[in-house]
Structure 1
């Protein structure tokens, strides 16, 4: 009897702690769907409805996933003419050992629909299909995943590269979906004026992390004409978010250690002074960096051959070393 009483109050205490530190979704405690297993990536489909096409995305469950414990979701959006499979290989959110809130993550890789040039793209770019509602797609993925898995609804994050990074900015600038996402990270992003950087409504302070190379010839650091649209300069993008978040003064400037970055090629600019709600805006200015996702090793699809853009190496891993710790600082 005494043991049962102790177990009861232990369970109550655990639930109380979870309620304070996380927001468990309705999927908590359900049996794992038959086609899913720990440490594996599974393809999912959303049927066509309300004038929207069939949508696809991949979901990777961490090796130690438990469906009775809340887990963070990290969305990773591919670039123009990319695929969800290539984005999983590139962004490394399926790697073992990544933790947010002391638990493994649910990594999600959505697939963009074909745009006006016949290549996959995301909403907001001049070459995207304007009939496709990608923001609705993200909302549907979130509600679906929350119903299937034990999701910490206070810890949902979005990252993206190139056109996918521009779309992440559009998500941050759209209050109805930004209210569901705790923090945002953009890599070599194409910030078209049509992704709302100049006219960006927000209802809360938004934590922003950005990586961009000065030698990027696809989405130039200085902005300018591209694909029939106009790209916002990277520093204008960062300062815009610092202003919206109420940050004061100039950014603090730091670097990686000389042991890791002997030439001091990576300059880190951090806006954190008096920012609302403890938010920060952090920009990694990578001198000589190309249109790639910073990582020490090459993606598998490069076959060990260094070429350009995604098939180049950096002096740090953007995902494990920077993005995951950044996301871990923020919850709704």
Structure 2
């Protein structure tokens, strides 16, 4: 049998798993059966989320967890459809969580509700609840999101209490705001940890909703390069560290892949720059972005599947003994 890089990663990760208190327990009756998802409410809260349990879930085998946060004015159902973490073609083994925001916006967006318990509290409480109810590998919990949801992924990473519970972070067309004066957020102050904070960002060069070079509007968005350099510095690269490569990938000049190697870790910060793509979730097949916002998606579909690249990054960054993160996954 030939083992792929992802199956090797899964084997290595299982040998180093950190099982949660929920291991060995039966799936709660209200939860979905393996291979399906359902809409739930966090006990003791008015906050809702969608839970997906993968086909290969085993109550005695700690599973990775993927949080996926929706964009501004969107919701958890659209994010499940867009992100495809609930698609067994891409994800046979990982639990997926799609939290719903309070009012259509996540912390970092100036329109988000900031009253406590806020979005960080919700994320922290939801993860604690899941670890008690399901068999989770607490060393393989990941955060991802699109647009405002991508920006909120950065907020999580910057929070010393909540961010330390996540192994890696990824954003698609992140909407990056200055959060210094936002109540409950403040400056980026991640906890210090040996494994660092692996960070991946995808962005379309023609994005007019969250422009790749930022804007100066009332709710100003920061340039993506500022965010990448922030995480390079947070990972021990030093201030304004240049990328070690900026290669054309996927056999097309449309896409470039920038990589930062920091603190002995290859590719701990990465960026995919998508030429001729706007505020769209990159995919070789159509999705809601292409159907609802054709002006932002001029090619109709894109030249690579974000799902595969995304999952490869998240799975490998927290797997001991596996390196080579700077090599793009192109199939």
Task: Tell me how far 1:309 sits from its aligned partner.
Answer: 3.7
Question: What do the CA deviations read for 1:26-70 (whole angstroms, capped 9, x no partner)?
Answer: 111111122320111111102455xxxx10000111112111111
- Matched-pair contact (CA < 8 Å) for 2:179–2:187: no
User: Which residue number corresponds to residue 324 of structure 2?
Assistant: none
The structure with the largest helix share of the pair is: 1
1:182 aligns with 2:167: yes
Distance in 1 between residues matched to 2:222 and 2:264, nearest whole Å = 24
Report the 3-state secondary structure (helix = DSSP H, G, I; strand = E; otherwise coil) of the residue aligned with 2:227: helix
Distance in 1 between residues matched to 2:142 and 2:249, nearest whole Å = 25
1:67 aligns with 2:59: yes
Report the 3-state secondary structure (helix = DSSP H, G, I; strand = E; otherwise coil) of the residue aligned with 2:18: coil
Structure 1 stretches of 4+ moved >3 Å? 17-20, 195-199, 276-279, 300-303, 308-312
Question: What do the CA deviations read for 1:170-219 (whole angstroms, capped 9, x no partner)?
Answer: 00000101110000001111100017999321223210000011100000
Distance in 2 between residues matched to 1:75 and 1:299, nearest whole Å = 20
Picking from 206, 219, 229, the partner of 2:219 is 229
Which segment drifts farther, 61-70 or 39-48? 39-48
Distance in 2 between residues matched to 1:68 and 1:198, nearest whole Å = 39
User: Which residue number corresponds to residue 254 of structure 2?
Assistant: 265
TM-score when scaled to structure 2? Answer: 0.83
The unaligned stretches of length 5 or more in structure 1 are 1-16, 115-119
- Matched-pair contact (CA < 8 Å) for 1:98–1:105: no
Distance in 2 between residues matched to 1:288 and 1:198, nearest whole Å = 34
Task: Tell me how far 1:277 sits from its aligned partner.
Answer: 5.5
Picking from 259, 265, 269, the partner of 1:281 is 269
The unaligned stretches of length 5 or more in structure 2 are 1-11, 320-331
Distance in 2 between residues matched to 1:195 and 1:68, nearest whole Å = 43
Q: Give the superposed CA RMSD.
A: 2.5
Relative distance call for 1:223 and 1:240 in structure 2 (3 A) is same
Number of corresponding residues: 296
TM-score when scaled to structure 1? Answer: 0.82
Task: Tell me how far 1:240 sits from its aligned partner.
Answer: 1.5
1:86 aligns with 2:70: no
Query: 1:41-190 to 2 correspondence within 5 Å?
Result: 41-48=37-44, 54-98=46-90, 104-114=93-103, 120-132=104-116, 133-190=118-175
Relative distance call for 1:195 and 1:61 in structure 2 (3 A) is farther
Relative distance call for 1:276 and 1:193 in structure 2 (3 A) is farther
